[in-house]
A and B are shown apart, each in its own frame.
Chain A
Amino acid sequence: MIQQELRWTPFLLLFWREIRRFMKVVVQTVLAPLISSSLYLLIFGISLGKSIDLSSGMSYLAFLIPGLVMMGCLNNAFSNASSSVVGSKFAGELEDYKISPLSHSQIIWALSLGGVARGLMVATITFFVGQIFCYIQLGEMLSVKSPLLLVFFLLVGGIGFAMMGLSVALWSKTFDHLSAFGSFILLPLIYLGGVFYSIDTLPVFWQKVSMFNPILYFINGVRYSILGVSDVNVWFAALMSLVLLFVFYILSIYSFNRGSFQRW
């Protein structure tokens, strides 16, 4: 009897806790990304975008929106999951998970889905803000070419990055470790992953280097889903996204088995 109850309830309650957690600090989790997306669209999309000509003839503002949508999703999924673990470590709450019958798998999926929920919320807000900018600037809104692919890339990318956030947070021994990972690894990868430019504009050598950046596949997957254009084959991007999700999942399982649950 109790085993049956342990199958879903602990997972669902932890997932619900994650949603409630980021909704309690809605200014930090939703409004702040809204402001930053608006600034990116205003400065890069409208102001600088006027002087950027894409070879496809597409408006730079339209090109930018999918990248910002995915960047918002990945960043927030990562931040939500990692800050949840780090915050729980700091408060001593992480040991609560360990002493309860929550399995590692349940914790990973609940926290990852919590992270992707925030990521999707920010992605949606960014997309709608982008649509407003598009309407003002171009006189029309973007139509999504493939909604299913869009959901696929947002979900797979968001869950993967949330899992990476969990792993980094579990291995972090101080807030500095987490912030160093964000500043020195995650941020450069996102900015160099094709959010603001097409890798076709890079020299051949750097194009090849870019192919090792996992974020390139997520960004281009979303760009293809919305605009129908991509620097890489979309099915290859989908395959790479699934491979990366698998890698991040294995990494998070390993981290939960070996990382520290003890409070700071």
Chain B
Amino acid sequence: MADALEILNLVKKYDSLIAVNDVTFNVKPGEIFGLLGPNGAGKTSLISTIVTVEKPTSGSVKIFGTDVSVQPRVTKSMTGIVPQEIVNHGFFNIEEILTFHSGYFGIRNNKTQIHFLLHKLGLFEHRHKRVKQLSGGMKRRLLIAKALVHQPKLLILDEPTAGVDIELRQSLWEFVTELRKSGVTILLTTHYLEEAEQLCDRVGIIHQGRLRRVGPTKELIDEFTQRNINLVLSKTTGSLTNKYLTHQDQNKVSFQIPSTMKVGELLAQTQLNVSDIVDLQINEGSLEDAFRRVLGGVE
């Protein structure tokens, strides 16, 4: 089966600025892929070329095996995008907006799907309102409904939770998880790395137009972070000598070990007795730590 998204040596230049610089990665069908990077890293430029708002300078983008430059109407039919910025539709109410948007994708009678989405996203009772009458959160949900009216196989979420309160963010992520269960492949960008860590099967970290790292979320965290082990002992012990020791103060000792190393291994190395341990605290590395390490390594 073809990859849901296959990006090969993609370059996007704006005059002298190289927004996307030789980026290659793929997104497998049914996975949630997080594209992470600081502001101005090139995420939106990359997404713009995927959805053909921008033409690539060189390289190729394929969606389920079809090149977006060769058959854009086919790839667009398979793709839904939730843009970063709110779109205002002046004259029309929500139901009209979704009806027209369905039509642009070749679907004339789409009331069932439109009403399903309106119910699902809590917009049904607001369906006769115009965009300017909606709250910020409702406007975001409308963007999601628009992206899903044609039931795309690939959904691109470009910072869908920017400026959204915690409750709505939570419900949006739950919806994203449901969509994935129904077989939709998801490419998302977000600045909320804790949420990306929970949601994404794989992530790619982009910085200054270049893809610095790509891989399964857990593996990336393991590769770029360490575990902090804090022990409180029942009695003051003599001076410990271990290469992972970071701090020792009377009966309190701290270690920083590789993410792949087991605590048992550390205890065996230090020859500490389990019966002497009063308290043990393990701080695992996070995606945010890995993200900082990856970006720190290139600056």
Contact = CB atoms under 8 A, between A and B. Distances in A.
Given A20-B96, A261-B53, A102 B104 contact: yes
B106 A2 contact: yes
A92 B146 CA distance: 14
B76 interface: yes
Interface in A69-99: 87, 91-93, 95-99
B248 to A, nearest CB: 58
B77 interface: yes
A12 B89 CA distance: 19
Interface stretch (A3-11, A120-128, A201-209): A3-11
A263 B53 contact: no
Given A91-B89, A101-B76, A103-B73, A96 B53 contact: no
B88 interface: yes
A4 to B, nearest CB: 8
A17 interface: yes
B88 A92 contact: yes
B103 A99 contact: no
A13 B108 contact: yes
B85 interface: yes
A108 B200 CA distance: 40
Contacts of A20: 91-92, 96
Interface residues of A, number: 31
A5 B107 contact: yes
Interface in A14-51: 14, 16-17, 20-21, 24-25
Q: Which of B72, B79, B88 has the most CB of A within 10 A?
A: B88
B262 to A, nearest CB: 49
Contacts of A92: 83, 85-88
Nearest to A7: B106
B89 A93 contact: yes
B100 interface: yes
Interface in B45-102: 51-53, 72-74, 76-77, 79, 81, 83, 85-92, 96, 99-102
Contact of A96 (B96, B104, B108): B104
Nearest to B79: A99
B103 A9 contact: yes
Interface string A221-264: 00000000000000000000000000000000000000001110
A100 interface: yes
B66 to A, nearest CB: 12
B217 to A, nearest CB: 28
B114 to A, nearest CB: 13
Given A6-B77, A24-B91, A263-B85, A99 B51 contact: yes
| Size range of the chain B interface in the assembly | 20 to 34
B88 A91 contact: yes
B101 A100 contact: yes
Contacts of B89: 91, 93
Q: Which of A13, A16, A25, A97 has the most CB of B within 10 A?
A: A13
Contacts of A87: 90
B105 interface: yes
A21 B104 contact: no
Contact of A91 (B79, B83, B87, B103): B87
Contact of B108 (A9, A95, A98, A101): A9
A11 to B, nearest CB: 9
Interface in B120-175: 146
B73 A6 contact: yes
Given A101-B73, A103-B73, A10 B106 contact: yes
A105 B282 CA distance: 61
A10 B103 contact: yes
Contacts of A25: 91
A9 B73 contact: no
Interface string B263-292: 000000000000000000000000000000
Interface of B: 51-53, 72-74, 76-77, 79, 81, 83, 85-92, 96, 99-108, 146
Given A14-B103, A95-B53, A96-B146, 6 more contacts: A10-B105, A13-B99, A17-B92, A24-B92, A92-B88, A96-B104
**Which 10 A-B pairs rank lowest in CB-CB distance, beginning with the nearest?**
A13-B103, A5-B106, A100-B104, A101-B73, A91-B88, A92-B87, A6-B106, A101-B76, A24-B91, A9-B106
